[in-house]
Amino acid sequence: MRRFIVMAAIAWTVSGCGWITEWVSGTDNSPPPAPLQAVANPIPFSKVWDTRVGAGTDGAFVKLVPALDQGGGLYAASRDGEVVALDAGSGQARWKVATKLPISGGVGVGDGLAVVATSKGEVVALRTDSGNEAWRARVSSEVLAPPRIAEGVVVIRAADGRFFGFEVASGRQIWGYASTVPVLTLRGSAPPLVGQGVVIAGLESGRVLGLDLRSGRPVFERVVAAPRGRTEMDRLVDIDAEPRAAGSTLYIAPYHGSVTAIDLQSGNPVWAKDISTYAGLDIDPQAVYVVGADDTVSALDRRDGSVLWQQAELSGRHLSAPTVYGPLVALADFEGYVHLLDSRSGRIVGRAQIDSTGVGVGPLARGNMLYVYGKSGTLAAYRAGG
């Protein structure tokens, strides 16, 4: 239960925004991690290169998700303010910048910028070709989600429920939108989907929101999960899993709710499967892969949500979001292992330990390469197969 935070109102004279973040203390009643079993007939899974990025998470509960661009660049940031651009194939550094800022939101890349945000609400845009600073801006609170960039707009989601749109060229704020945040939420914010003129985000209230990318005007809102239960803990319905979209269908997954497929043209649900998650999901042409709150990995048929397979051998291992990696599904855990599952059967077919301090964010996949960023700052590229 240490993944939770309380958003508690305090005196207005102390804080202009009226909120303070506190860890929930008490007994950890989560299930013990399942011991790892030897992988039978493992596939080859070898390290191509590795490097270090500052102090990694530096002991903070932040998800510093790296980013890939279309030009072969890999970008990562550390909690102590280091931002690096690497050649994704070789791991060679293109540039490195020491911002000396408490980065909390990972890296967003697009339109020639690499953008990071901090626990103090600072937004810093660096030029991807040089690392030189393009502009700075400020938002209303800590940023826990990586920025998203598309069609000339940088979208920032702040932890207090506000969304901001900034002009790529100048950093000028062009819009803002405020959503309501419940009293008790999971610590974390899912980055929105951005593109085709729309921003789509899952909210802490269990709703999915659509905003016009150019104006920030709401274009739709739908309830995915309604609060239920007698306690605030029971009533958590945060959508902390990053949404996925394919064609006209949106796949979204709340905590204490159901993995849901929504038709974006009508706004109506196509199907829903009762699985609670805060880790995340990914999709391929056949299936939706989701890590449940108990760390059971499920594959659901994209057409109707029926269960194709479930893998429970990694229960209690605090799994990351899953990543589709060719015919495999890759996940990382609290001991820094990356597990490879066969996407058609769910069988574990490969494993490697990347960072003994743990991995808190899902791997990135591009072609035959898999990129993993550990909590200590180890950033590694692996390749499966011969």
- Using one digit for the tens of pLDDT, what is the confidence trace for 318-355? 999 999 999 999 999 999 999 999 999 999 999 999 99
Cα distance between residue 288 and residue 273, in whole Å: 11
Confidence band for 183, pLDDT divided at 50, 70 and 90? low
- With CA atoms as reference, report the closest residue to 118 among 140, 148, 87: 140
Cα distance between residue 53 and residue 64, in whole Å: 11
Residue 372 in tokens: 């993993």
pLDDT in tens, 270-285: 999 999 888 899 999 9
Q: Which amino acid is at 45?
A: F
Comparing 44-53, 116-125, 191-200, 204-213, the range with the smallest average pLDDT is 204-213
Residue 28 in tokens: 């950890």
Comparing 41-55, 96-110, 214-228, the range with the smallest average pLDDT is 214-228
Confidence band for 22, pLDDT divided at 50, 70 and 90? very low
Q: Which residues pair with 141 in a beta bridge?
A: none
- Count Cβ atoms below 10 Å from residue 107 Cβ, excluding itself: 24
